[in-house]
Structure 1
Amino acid sequence: MATSTPQNYIEKVAIVGAGGQMGTFITEALLKTGKHHISAITRSDSTSKIPAGVEVKKVDYEDPASLIEALRGQDALIITMSVMSPPGQSAKLIEAAAAANVPWRSHRETKMGEDAMVGLAKQADRDLIEKLGKSSWVGICCSFWYEYSLSTGPFTYGFDFENHSVTFIDDGTTKINTTTWPQTALAIARLLSLKVLPDDTNDNSATLSQFRNQPVYISAFLLSQKDMLESVLRVTGTKESDWKIEHEAHKVRFAAGVAQFNGGDQRGAVKLLYTRVFYPDGCGNYEARHGLHNDILGLPKEDLDEFTRIAVDRAERKVLVF
Structure 2
Amino acid sequence: MAKYVKDQSADFRNTIERVAIIGAGGTIGLPITNALLKTGRHIVTAISREDSGNKLPEGILVATVDYNDEATIVAALKGQQFVIITMAPTAPKGTHSKIVQAAAKAGVPYVMPNWYAADIGNVKLGQDILLGPQDQANRNEIESLGMQWVNICCGFWYDYSLAGGESRFGLDFSTRSLTIYDDGNAQISTSTLSQVGRAVAKLLSLNELPEDENDKNLTLSTFLNKGVYIQSFLVSQNEMFESVKRVTGTTNSNWTITHEATNKRYENGLAQVKVGNMMHFSKLLYARVFYPDGSGDFSNKSQNELLALPNEDLDQSTKAGIDLIAELGRRVERMAA
Given the two structures, how large is their TM-score scaled by the length of structure 2? Answer: 0.90
Residue 13 of structure 1, CA deviation? 0.2
Q: How far is the alpha carbon of 1:101 from its aligned partner?
A: 1.2
The percent of aligned pairs where both chains have the same amino acid is: 48
Match of 2:2 in 1: 2
* Correspondence for 1:45: 51
The answer for the alignment partner of 2:318 in structure 1 is 308
Is the 1:219–1:294 contact (alpha carbons within 8 Å) kept by the matching residues of 2? yes
Work out which of the residue numbers 248, 253, 260 in structure 2 matches 1:248.
260
Aligned-pair CA distance for 1:185: 0.2
**Is 1:144 equivalent to 2:150 in the alignment?**
no
1:297 pairs with 2:310 = no
State the shift of 1:266 in Å: 3.1
For residues 174 and 319 of structure 1, what CA distance do their matches in structure 2 show? 31
**The one of 291, 303, 314 aligned to 1:279:** 291
Unmatched 5+ stretches in structure 1: none
Moved over 6 A (4+): none
Instruction: Specify the alignment match of 1:127 in structure 2.
Output: 140
Deviations 1:93-130 (A, max 9, x none): 11111111101111324433111111111111001011
Partner residue in 1 for 2:122? none
Query: Which amino acid is the alignment partner of residue 212 of structure 1?
Result: L
Match of 2:32 among 3, 26, 30: 26
Distance change (3 Å), C-alpha of 1:44 and 1:139: same
CA RMSD in angstroms comes to 1.9
Aligned length: 319
Letter of the aligned partner of 1:18 in structure 2?
A: A
In structure 1, C-alpha distance between the alignment counterparts of 2:58 and 2:326, rounded to whole Å: 30
Pair 173,162 (structure 1): closer, same or farther in 2 beyond 3 Å: same
CA contact (8 A) 1:152 1:320 kept: no
Provide the rounded CA distance (Å) in 1 between the counterparts of 2:49 and 2:285: 28
Instruction: Between 166-175 and 264-273, report the one with greater CA deviation.
Output: 264-273
1:201 aligns with 2:213: yes
Q: Identify if the C-alpha distance between structure 1 residues 53 and 242 changes in structure 2 by more than 3 Å, giving closer, same or farther.
A: same
Aligned pairs (5 A) from 1:110-259: 110-111=118-119, 112-133=125-146, 135-259=147-271
SS state at 1:113 partner: helix
- Flag structure 2 segments of 5+ consecutive residues without an equivalent: 120-124, 333-337
* 1:62, distance to aligned residue in structure 2 (A): 1.0
Matched residue type, 1:98: A
Q: Give SS of 1:155's match.
A: helix
Letter in 1 for 2:128: D
Cα deviation for residue 153 of structure 1 reads 0.3
Summarize deviations over 1:231-271 as a string: whole Å, max 9, x none.
01111111123222111111211122123334554330111
Matched residue type, 2:185: T
Structure 1 CA distance for aligned equivalents of residues 258 and 174 of structure 2: 15
TM-score, scaled relative to structure 1 = 0.94
Q: Distance in 2 between matches of 1:242 and 1:49?
A: 38
- Structure-2 separation of matches of 1:286 and 1:96: 33
